């Protein structure tokens, strides 16, 4: 089984360098172009099923990249991390080292990294059992992509996932599941 992960196309809030969190915005013109380019990359991959976050930006990305009319399942557990009070704050106004640290308690009223892992990692466990003979594409968000990376490669010793598993918009990553 191969598991592919793609982050949604660019949004206006991405362009403004704002924490999107659970803001349910669609992709912009740049995001549409990125998704169309990703569609070309995905044509040659043997994908059997797409599992997608039900947020607007991921749904629209999935619709564009799905050139082979592959079945799409929407899973709430793949939505972006809840940034709480940091939603729509400029990136530079947030201590991103603390925000992305598994052990940090600096920010309150948001989804912590451990909570993110507890939400995302069971999805990966289920996929490996339920779809063990299929190749799956997950269409999701940057925070979820970091949790997926940590699932396969582990948590850094310092607990900071800020620089691991980072996905550019419409970047495709492959994970080989044994």
- CATH code of the domain containing 61: 3.40.50.1240
Pick from 51-55, 65-69, 152-156: least confident: 65-69
Q: In which band, very low, low, confident or very high, does the pLDDT at 121 lie, cut at 50, 70 and 90?
A: very high
pLDDT tens digits for 19-49?
A: 999 999 999 999 999 999 999 999 999 999 9
- Determine the pLDDT at residue 177: 87
Q: What are phi and psi of 15, to 5 degrees?
A: -60, -35
Q: What total number of domains does the chain contain? A: 1
Band the pLDDT of 110: cuts 50, 70, 90: very high
The confidence score (pLDDT) of residue 68 equals: 78
**For residue 47, which of 2, 102, 112, 6 has the smallest C-alpha distance?**
2
What is the DSSP secondary structure assignment for residue 125, as one 8-state letter? Answer: H
CA atoms within 13 A on the CB side of 138: 30
**Which distant-in-sequence residues (6+ apart) come within 8 Å of 137 by Cβ?**
4, 5, 6, 42, 45, 47, 49, 50, 51, 70
Dihedral of CA atoms 124, 126, 129, 132 in degrees, nearest 10, equals -50
CA-based radius of gyration for the chain: 16
Contact predicate 100/114, CB 8 Å: no
In terms of C-beta density within 10 A (0-12 exposed, 13-18 middle, 19 or more buried), how is residue 172 classed? middle
Range of the domain at 21: 2-176
Q: Is the pLDDT score of 83 beyond 90?
A: yes
Neighbours of 158 (CB within 10 A): 11
Q: How far apart, in whole angstroms, are the C-alpha atoms of residue 123 and residue 128?
A: 9
């Amino acid at each position: 089984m191969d598991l592919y992960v793609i982050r949604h196309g660019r949004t206006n809030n991405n362009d403004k360098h704002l924490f999107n969190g659970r803001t349910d915005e669609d992709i912009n013109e740049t995001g549409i172009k990125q998704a169309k380019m990703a569609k070309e990359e995905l044509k040659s991959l043997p994908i059997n099923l797409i599992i997608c976050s039900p947020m607007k930006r991921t749904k629209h990305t999935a619709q564009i990249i799905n050139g082979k009319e592959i079945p799409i399942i929407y899973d709430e557990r793949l939505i972006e991390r809840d940034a709480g009070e940091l939603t729509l704050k400029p990136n530079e106004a947030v201590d991103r080292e603390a925000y992305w640290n598994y052990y940090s308690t600096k920010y309150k009223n948001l989804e912590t990294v451990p909570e993110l892992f507890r939400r995302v990692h069971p999805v990966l466990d289920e996929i490996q059992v339920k779809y063990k003979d299929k190749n799956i594409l997950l269409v999701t968000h940057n925070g979820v992509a970091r949790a997926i990376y940590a699932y396969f490669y582990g948590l850094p010793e310092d607990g900071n996932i800020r620089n691991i598993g980072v996905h550019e918009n419409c970047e495709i990553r492959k994970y080989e599941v044994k």
